[in-house]
Amino acid sequence: MTDESFASPLAVAHPSRWTAVDFRPLSLDPRIEALADEMEFEIWRIVTLLPPSLASEAARVLSGYPGPGRRFIGLFYRPVWSVLHWLEEDAAVRAAAVRVHALALLLHLWDDHLCDGQLPIDIARLHFRSLAWREMEAALPPDGSTAENLWALLATYLEAIHAPEPAGSLEAHLERFERQMAIWRAAPRMLAARRGARVAALLDEALQHFCVAWRLIDDIQDIEEDRATGQDNCVRLALSGPAAARWDASRGVAPQALPAGVDGALPDAVETILRRAREALRQARAKAAEAGLTDWADEIDRARGF
């Protein structure tokens, strides 16, 4: 999930050869550095709205998610949020979009970890989430067709993140993730809508393609963790027959303890997923360029490290 790598607080405590498959870190120019600072401020501002003891707890938890540069926002691959820079509008609209996007990214990760047990459910974490959601809502346009479209995205997100059914196929897994990432598309759509329906639609498609690539690469990195915990994983869903059965039988087994031959089919399955990720990035770049966002398209191209 990061420009470098993302390790969850419950990551399996052994190295994986697959973590080297990643997006390429991108150097930040001063303008995008400033955007990252603004988004980071919006996330930590929520902490200040909590009572002191809850604020201390929230700060501790947030600090456990260190991205590059010690930023929470650094947990997310740069094109997911730098798109706001290439869509800059007047100061008021831009400020609202920055707040919405920063809190959307925060909520996506926070909700995911509340749902899968990586974060314990207690009043501090729930109240922190409620405040973040309230502040994000307040920054959305109050009415009009754009507002209706944004609320539709948020509804899609909530339905997809709440008690998702296990994925029965790779396509179902990716489709579910696209719906779970609908919240990431709200702020870019706020800005793109001001450039017309065509640009907004192309940008939306570009983001969806990039997010599919993100999911595919993240699952490659998480092979060992997902196998140990039984989570859905693209690589597992690319396996079939005896190879799939061997994966299922090896759940909870550390890599060094696996019988010989258990991982024999993984390289081919990983290559299948990599081809899919490369194609998703190619489409993301093409849609971004078609929308006239050539600088963002270049970022997407330069981010591919696999």
Give 294-300's long-range contacts (Cβ < 8 A, gap of 24+).
295/86, 296/79, 296/82, 296/83, 296/86, 296/206, 297/206, 299/26, 299/78, 299/79, 299/82, 300/79, 300/206, 300/210
pLDDT at residue 136, rounded to an integer: 97
Phi, psi (5° rounding) for residue 304? -70, 115
Tokens, residue 179: 């719906």
pLDDT at residue 258, rounded to an integer: 86
pLDDT at residue 11, rounded to an integer: 36
The pTM assigned to this predicted structure is 0.90
Tens-digit pLDDT string for the chain (306 aa) = 433 333 333 333 445 788 889 999 888 789 999 999 999 999 999 999 999 999 999 999 999 887 776 789 989 999 999 999 999 778 889 999 999 999 999 999 999 999 988 899 999 999 999 999 999 999 999 887 788 899 999 999 999 999 888 889 999 999 999 999 999 999 999 999 889 999 999 999 999 999 999 999 999 999 998 998 888 999 999 999 999 999 999 998 888 888 888 899 999 999 999 999 999 999 999 999 999 999 999 999 999 999
pLDDT at residue 67, rounded to an integer: 73
Domains of the chain: 17-303 (1.10.600.10)
Quick one: DSSP state of residue 79? H
C-beta separation of 103 from 135 below 8 A: yes
pLDDT at residue 224, rounded to an integer: 92
pLDDT at residue 143, rounded to an integer: 81
The residue behind tokens 């979009």 is 97
pLDDT at residue 165, rounded to an integer: 83
pLDDT at residue 229, rounded to an integer: 87
CA angle, residues 83, 87, 88, in degrees to nearest 5: 120
